[in-house]
Amino acid sequence: MTMILPVKRTLRVFGTDSFELSLGWKDVDGNYYDLTTYTGFMRFYVSKTDRTLLKTITNGVTGSRIVLAATFPNIYVRVIDTETQIGSLPDFVSAPGYYVLDLAPADAELTYRLMEGNINYEL
């Protein structure tokens, strides 16, 4: 794999609503990477400059989760409605203003930052 620059996107998140991302990461030949051995991390922060961690979503099979595969969507992120309100964990502990989406291969000591950006959070 070669060096990549993360995609910058603003997410609009509504408190007490679920949201999903379906993404495809391809190589230079247009083939989807097999990400089944990777671990995904979506981290939510207060802001880009205040990196107080509010929530982390990682690989899983139920609830809020990241699912990594070999075919499209080889990156699927779901945050369930009961975890987007403001309260105590597993909810956001305060309104999120920034996020990052990273993937880490199981056999390497590196992380790929695929996406990052601001969050417009609305109740």
- The whole-chain average pLDDT of the chain stands at 92
Summarised one tens digit per residue, pLDDT across range 35-71 is: 999 999 999 999 999 999 999 999 988 889 999 999 9
Find all residues with CB under 8 Å of 13, minimum gap 6, and list them.
Answer: 19, 79, 84, 96, 119, 120, 121, 122
Q: Which amino acid is at 38?
A: Y
pLDDT-based confidence at 91, cuts 50/70/90? confident
Which is it for the CA torsion 70, 6, 30, 19, positive or negative? positive
Domains (range + CATH), the chain: 7-122 (2.60.40.10)
pLDDT for the residue 95: 92
pLDDT range class, residue 2, cuts 50, 70, 90:
low
